[in-house]
Chain A
Amino acid sequence: MILLAGGALDPHLTRALRRAEARGINARGLLVGPETWPTLTLGVPDGVLRLDGEALRPTALWVRHDVFSALADPRPAVAARALDWYEALVGYAALNPGVFVLNREALGRRVNKVAALGLAARLGLRVPRGVVTNDLHASRAREVEALVAKPLRGGGLCVPLEDALAEQDADASAAPSPAFVQARLHGPELRVTLVGERAFTFQIHAEVLDHRATPDAPFERVDDPPEAVLGPLFALASAMGLQLCAADLKQDDEGALVLLEMNAQPMYTAYDTACDGAITDAILDLLSPAA
C-alpha cells in the first residue's frame, strides 16, 4: 500500500489517488480538509502509524505540504494546521527509514535559492549572473533595462529592476530587504518536470517577463533540453535529494539555457493534463514500481 498525504484541496494528490484506483494500485489518502481531518497517532520512537484506528504499514509515502487550504482560508490557524500535519508525516518518514519516501532527503528542508544556484553552477548549469543586494544607490546606477529583480523567497514575481526600484522611496539608499538583481533573460520559458529518471518539458509563451503574471499563457510540450543541460538538471535534483521536482529555464543573450530555479514541490496539473496524465503515472510508478 502507498500513502499519499497532504491537503484535501491539493489536486495533485486527489488526481493521483484517482489514477491509482484506475490502475489497481493499493493507495490510501491521508487528506486534511478545510473542515475534516483523519485521526492520526504516530508512535515515538517506534514509528507505528495509526490512521483512523487502523495500523498502516505503507511501502511508500508521498507527502506534500498543503498550501491550498491557506489559499482558500487565510486564517493563520489554517496554515499552521497544514504545517503541523506536514511535520507529523516528515516525522513518520524519519522513524521509518525502510519506507520509500518521495523526496525523502529534502523533506523538512527549505531550499535556499542562493545556495541552490551555487550548487547548480558547480554542477555545470548556467545560472543568472547577478547579486543579492538591497543597495538601491548602486542598483540605480546600473543599466537597469538589462536587469531584473526577484525576491529571495519562493512565490514572488520577477520584475524589471526599474519597476522594483520605483517601488522604493526615491531618497532611500538601502531597501528594507535584499533581493536578487540578475541579468534579464529571454523567453520562451522552459518548465522541465523531473520524475525519477523521466523528464516532461513544456515551453511557455508569455508576453510578460514572468509568465506567472499571465496564467493563461499558452504552452506546449517540447523535446527535452539537450543532454548537456538535462544531465546536470538530474544531477542537481539528485544532489538536492529530489526525485520529483521542476526546473525553470530561460535563455541568455547567447541563446544558452539558464536555470532560474529548481522547485521542490512543483505544481504541474495543467502539464499533466496536457500529456494525458503521464506525470502522475510516472510518480505512481516510482511509488509502486511493481504496478
Chain B
Amino acid sequence: MAETTKKSQAPKEYKTMAIPEEPGDDEYKTMAIPEEPGDERQQQASKKAFGEK
C-alpha cells in the first residue's frame, strides 16, 4: 500500500470524471459555460438528474 497522497493543487491534475470521459459527450455540453475545470465541476454539480423543462 502506498502512502496516502493528497491530490495535487496544480491546475492541470485531473482525477475526476466531471469532465467528459467519453468521446462525444462534449457534443452535448456546449450549453455549459465553464471557464476552468473547477468551474466545470460546479456546473455539473448543479445539473439536475431528471432534467429541466
Contact = CB atoms under 8 A, between A and B. Distances in A.
Contacts of B4: 218-220
Nearest to B51: A177
Contacts of A82: 26
Interface in B14-42: 14-30, 32-38, 40-41
B42 to A, nearest CB: 9
Max count, chain A CB within 10 A of own CB: residue among B15, B21, B53: B15
A33 interface: no
B48 A264 contact: no
B17 A213 contact: no
Interface residues of B, number: 46
A contact residues, range: 35 or more
A216 B16 contact: no
B50 A167 contact: yes
Given A72-B35, A220-B3, A155 B23 contact: no
Contact of A215 (B3, B20, B41, B53): B41
Contact of A157 (B13, B15, B18, B26): B18
B30 A149 contact: no
Nearest to B19: A67
Contacts of A156: 44, 47, 49
B15 A268 contact: yes
B49 A71 contact: no
Contacts of B38: 215
A149 B49 contact: yes
Contacts of A266: 17, 21
Contacts of B32: 74
Contacts of A223: 1
A154 B20 contact: yes
A269 B34 contact: no
Interface in A36-77: 64-68, 70-72, 74, 76
B38 to A, nearest CB: 7
B1 A221 contact: yes
Contacts of A64: 23
A282 to B, nearest CB: 17
A180 B27 CA distance: 21
Closest CB pairs A-B (n = 8): A177-B51, A175-B50, A270-B15, A267-B14, A263-B21, A176-B51, A221-B2, A65-B23
Interface of A: 11-12, 64-68, 70-72, 74, 76, 79-80, 82-83, 86, 106-111, 134, 136, 149-151, 153-157, 159, 164-165, 167-168, 175-180, 191, 202, 204, 211-213, 215-223, 246, 248, 263-271, 273-275
